[in-house]
């Protein structure tokens, strides 16, 4: 593939949907303005739609983006509009600009954020919490962080994970300076959904089962990906400017809310010729033994999110625990620091060699799932025979304080880091190390290293004190909503800064019945 992607301005030879291109004719459906007005000459008005107020509705379409009924526009930021289609092409549409690259990689069209909803009317509308003056001394904190499990995905025909796996990217501490090419090609947005569509939380639970760590599942309040928590936090921080998102959720047992990550597409194109994050990860890490072929590593932790209130007493000051939320959180790991702990007694004595793993992978089509010793009676049966997921035992545990989050910034924008996005990424996974590569068009000259508990990060935590408290309040509202609609499958959808709950048409759970039983108290 060419190292440069097609420019949006190069539309002359690009296939189009019948609705036109980004700057010519909008379709007849809802767009940014009135009854059919798109970016320029849609039927019904010029830019912003003369016949209607800004943010108005097209004929049958919704505000901003989705045409329905007779609405035929994809949205204000969809560069291609086929008749009846979402952004990036419709049923009869094609691609514009960079989009032929999507066709090259045979990517499916992005899913519509409204797909599979029972009605267009929400069950609930969530309001952003207000910070009370009386709560000025309240603190939201994470305590009792515990490793539960981890796994590597394996490139194979059948969904297969190695548990506990090995962090395939060991920090190499490469000498500076060095230069890398821009990111290109495909990248995975959500590998779990790509390999296990409809059951993306299943590998999380089966990996924890395989490790046999003690956990009382009926007492868990939320099972979620870090990504879902960050999206909710983004809505709290940015309100009407928050990016649109969707999270499917359902109740399991008497209190546990399963938050299922939802993305328009499990894969997309990596960068636009200006990003270097994937290349930076490749150049600054080295593959760990046994996991050269493991494309993604995920880690599962549990912790309690406490709301702590400082109150005065006659004899001393004390912290009071108010409504702690028990969280099980999964997150992708960028890299790790090699330590002697990898070879400590936490390492698996029975960990296979690379040859053993190769033999196991070669016979995946005929071998049963590898099942370890029977769990204690208080735990559910691990690796149920009907599970579509194959499990191989291998790798070793790595201490929590060895995990690294990697990112990059151009030297021209190094002072514009959005800490309201970066800090929750570290906080919700309790990732201690944050390494920031600074570059000039791919030429890296500096790597800034910070720690979650450093003075710099402590200042960020204090700055986000009010947001963290609101975040905890929103989680409680989501849990109460799940309890109120316990027999329904729900979707939390943010559009235009409005966060609403809808009922889904599906009647299928995201987990098999025998796996869901763990959340029922006995």
CA contacts within 13 A on the Cβ side of 320: 12
Q: What is the 3-state secondary structure (H, E, C) of 26-91?
A: CCCCCCCCCCCCCCCCECCECCCCCCCCCCCCCCCCCCCCCCCCCCCCCCCCCCCCCCCCCCCCCC
First to last CA, the chain: 57
Overall pTM surpassing 0.75 (yes/no): no
CA angle 436, 453, 320 (to 5 degrees): 140
Neighbour-count burial of 1, counting CB atoms closer than 10 A to its CB (0-12 exposed, 13-18 middle, 19+ buried): exposed
Backbone angles phi, psi at 264, to 5 degrees: -60, -30
What tens-digit pLDDT sequence spans the chain (522 residues)? 433 332 323 333 333 333 333 333 333 333 333 333 333 333 333 333 333 333 333 333 333 333 333 333 333 333 333 333 333 333 323 333 344 555 566 778 889 999 999 989 999 999 998 765 445 556 778 889 999 999 999 888 899 999 998 766 889 999 999 999 999 888 888 999 999 999 999 999 999 999 999 999 999 999 999 999 999 999 999 999 999 999 999 999 999 999 999 999 988 887 777 899 999 999 999 876 655 556 689 999 999 987 665 443 344 433 333 458 999 999 999 999 986 544 443 343 344 444 544 444 443 332 333 323 333 333 333 444 467 899 999 888 889 999 999 999 999 999 888 888 899 999 999 999 999 999 999 999 999 999 998 888 888 888 888 898 899 999 999 999 999 999 999 999 999 999 999 999 998 999 999 999 999 998
Axis crossing angle, helix 465-484 with helix 455-463, rounded to the nearest 10: 50
Which tokens is 388 given?
A: 């579509």
Of 291, 298, 257, 371, the closest CA to residue 149 belongs to 298
Tokens of 243: 């990016």
**Other C-beta atoms lying within 10 Å of the C-beta of residue 337:** 18
Q: What is the pLDDT of residue 166?
A: 75
- C-alpha 305/C-alpha 326 separation (Å) is 7
* CB neighbours of residue 310 within 10 Å: 12
Partners of residue 251 on adjacent β-strands: 257
Helical segments of 306-353, H only: none
Cis peptide before 177 (omega within 30 of 0): yes
Question: CA 155, 345, 303 angle in degrees (round to 5)?
Answer: 70
CA 40 to chain CA centroid, Å, is: 35
What does the pLDDT read at residue 130?
Answer: 79
């Amino acid at each position: 593939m060419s190292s440069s992607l097609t420019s949006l301005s190069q539309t002359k030879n690009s296939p189009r949907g019948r609705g036109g291109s980004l700057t010519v004719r909008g379709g007849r459906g809802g767009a940014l303005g009135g009854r059919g007005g798109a970016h320029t000459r849609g039927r019904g008005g010029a830019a912003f739609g003369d016949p209607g107020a800004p943010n108005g509705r097209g004929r049958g379409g919704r505000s901003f983006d989705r045409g329905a009924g007779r609405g035929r526009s994809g949205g204000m930021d969809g560069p291609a509009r086929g008749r009846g289609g979402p952004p990036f092409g419709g049923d009869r549409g094609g691609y514009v600009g960079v989009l032929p690259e999507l066709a090259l990689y045979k990517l499916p069209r992005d899913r519509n954020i409204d797909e599979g909803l029972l009605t267009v009317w929400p069950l609930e509308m969530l309001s952003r919490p207000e910070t009370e003056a009386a709560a000025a001394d309240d603190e939201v904190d994470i305590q009792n962080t515990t490793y539960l499990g981890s796994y590597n995905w394996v490139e194979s025909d059948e969904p297969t994970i190695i548990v506990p796996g090995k962090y395939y990217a060991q920090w190499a501490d490469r000498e500076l300076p060095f230069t890398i090419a821009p990111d290109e090609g495909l990248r995975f947005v959500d590998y779990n959904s790509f390999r296990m569509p409809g059951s993306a939380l299943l590998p999380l639970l089966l990996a924890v089962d395989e490790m046999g760590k003690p956990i009382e599942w009926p007492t868990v309040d939320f099972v979620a990906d870090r990504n879902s928590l960050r999206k909710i936090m983004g809505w709290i921080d940015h309100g009407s400017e928050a990016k649109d998102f969707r999270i499917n959720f359902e109740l399991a047992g008497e209190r546990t809310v399963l938050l299922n990550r939802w993305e328009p597409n499990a894969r997309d194109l990596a960068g636009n010729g200006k990003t270097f994050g994937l290349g930076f990860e490749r150049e600054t890490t080295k593959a760990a033994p046994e996991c050269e072929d493991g494309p993604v590593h995920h880690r599962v932790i549990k912790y309690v999110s406490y709301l702590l209130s400082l109150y005065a007493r006659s004899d001393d000051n004390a912290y009071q625990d108010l409504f702690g939320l028990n969280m099980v959180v999964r997150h992708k790991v960028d890299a790790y620091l090699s330590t002697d702990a990898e070879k400590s007694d936490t390492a698996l004595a029975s960990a296979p060699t690379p040859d053993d793993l190769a033999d196991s992978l070669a016979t995946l089509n005929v071998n049963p799932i590898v099942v370890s010793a029977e769990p204690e009676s208080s735990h559910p049966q691990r690796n149920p025979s009907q599970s579509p997921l194959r499990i191989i035992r291998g790798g070793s545990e790595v201490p929590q304080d060895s995990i690294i989050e990697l990112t990059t910034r151009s030297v021209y924008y190094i002072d514009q880091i959005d800490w309201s996005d970066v800090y929750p990424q570290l906080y919700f996974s309790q990732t201690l190390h944050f390494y920031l590569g600074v570059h000039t068009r791919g030429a890296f000259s500096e790597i800034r290293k910070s720690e979650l508990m450093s003075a710099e990060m402590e200042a960020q935590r204090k700055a986000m004190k009010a947001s963290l408290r609101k975040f905890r309040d929103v989680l409680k509202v989501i849990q109460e909503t799940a309890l109120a609609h316990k027999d329904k499958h729900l979707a939390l959808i943010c559009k235009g800064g409005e966060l609403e709950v809808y009922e889904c048409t599906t009647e299928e759970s995201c987990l098999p019945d025998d796996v869901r039983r763990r959340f029922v108290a006995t």
